[in-house]
A and B are shown apart, each in its own frame.
Chain A
């Protein structure tokens, strides 16, 4: 049976979401999407230049891929909501990744403002994917506010730090009945694989591919890693630890049977 991620009315076969920033040529994006197998691509609305086709990044997004505009640049809920409206007016659809970042040093998101923006936009019918700092309480609030998924960061954007927030993400996967999509800070395919093995619904990453000396090959590697991690999760991972002795504690009952 095919394993799909159901999100916003779509059935996604690939659980790798990719970004579009930091490339030395936006024309690479269609090939990156193809090699990675990604079916969801996020674009900062601030990059969308409708006045110049040569500079319009939207033209590089393959038509069959789900566009996920993000509110990069927003410092609070009001700004994020305005950007979402602009994205919709620009023909980008109703999916929106909320990025509210009042911290330009580490690019960490504001969870509180993200909850507010989630509530407003979800009521307006947007498919809301909020980017957040892993926090079970805030994650639940985002779910209650109407988020379609919750996207906790693995490590600060651009850090390639890996799953630095692993345990917090694990709690969210166990306790929140929504897809948990690990976003930002994933540096290696093995990080993405580990996130999927834990039960993450998907991974979103950009820097690790864009800054690789061979972005196309790295995109393929990430696609494979996410698939491998997901399949391992579905297959059921074995327990970690020493093999148990046969019946050290209850062996005395054997004679009774």
Chain B
């Protein structure tokens, strides 16, 4: 059965699920060796909110045992903000008046040098969706340059067919990040006004195509704030479990991007509180202990620091979300406003202060 069909079944289940959640159930769940999706649903329920400290204890213990006391640092490089899509929540929306830029290969090398000088070894490269301007050939050129400076390259670009993903993986990109934005198909259609991104199923199946193509790691998530967060969390957890079960050779991980101020006028319909985000993170850690959890600079510095002992395995640091932001810091708008603008060294110091070790490299091309 395709993932899409299994997801529909899951949506029906959510409507029918009525298990009563209390302290006894939370304690029972936390003692289980292997949790079910129903257990995850209980952990993120409103009734579970008074028991976050209990869940945090388990999350911390699992995190320490399976991931150790270290956090891997990475940074994004925005290669191009040209985009043919009209997504109402994104600064790169084709309709937005934004200074559009695409780095030349020479400029990519300047960016790489500037970023590598901060000690970063893991990068994620991003583009809008504009295959005619920044398509497969361009990405290949960029990967060939970036390989000289970084030990791990993750793509966060428009969804591709399996063959194109395979070419990227064979060339040396080891990871893929792609956010579904929302698993609500009707809402998805409403917030993507035009462009190839309107194709819900093509995007939904992209992580699976990436696994088939041989990426070592695949990172997913929903853009939190677009739809009621508990349902989005459940479908994301289901998606993560599906990928882990069907493609066990792939290291799967999850992010929790919360809608941030951006160019454009869209305000999140279902804003997520800090407490909600913590509950979400804890539930994921306990539900899938081996999965990675990534936290970007969308979140505030002090908030990110508190999350370190709760199960975060990867954090961005010293990030620029403008195109060409490292070599030539720009005043134009990035994809979203950054909340944690600390340098790499400052983030490293914060991780050490939390009793953890910042790691710059946990991959090598082979």
Contacts and interface: CB of A to CB of B under 8 A. Distances in A.
Given A86-B364, A104-B249, A49 B65 contact: no
B65 A55 contact: no
Given A22-B68, A55-B361, A211-B65, A75 B290 contact: no
Interface in A65-92: 73-75, 79, 82-83, 86
B290 A107 contact: yes
Q: Give chain B's interface secondary structure class.
A: loop
Given A22-B70, A104-B290, A55 B248 contact: no
A210 B357 CA distance: 12
A46 B363 CA distance: 4
B230 interface: no
Q: Is the interface of A mostly helix, strand, loop or mixed?
A: loop
Contacts of B290: 104-107
B65 A160 contact: yes
A75 B215 CA distance: 11
A44 B290 CA distance: 18
Contacts of A93: none
Interface stretch (A23-31, A172-180, A195-203, A242-250): A23-31
Nearest to A213: B64
Nearest to A84: B366
A55 B244 contact: no
B228 interface: no
B151 A25 contact: no
Place the interface of chain B in its size category: 20 to 34
B248 A24 contact: no
B357 A23 contact: yes
Contact of B248 (A54, A103, A159, A210): A103
B360 A105 contact: no
Nearest to B67: A22
Interface in B144-181: 151
Contacts of A211: 64-65, 68
B361 A46 contact: yes
Nearest to A160: B65
Interface of B: 64-70, 116, 119, 121, 151, 216, 244-245, 248-252, 290, 355-357, 359-364, 366
17 contacts: A23-B357, A24-B70, A24-B355, A44-B362, A45-B364, A46-B363, A48-B361, A49-B121, A49-B151, A52-B360, A52-B361, A54-B119, A55-B121, A55-B359, A158-B65, A207-B65, A210-B68
Given A46-B361, A48-B361, A73-B216, 19 more contacts: A22-B70, A23-B70, A24-B68, A24-B356, A24-B357, A47-B361, A49-B121, A49-B361, A51-B121, A52-B121, A55-B360, A73-B364, A86-B364, A105-B245, A105-B248, A107-B290, A160-B65, A210-B69, A211-B65
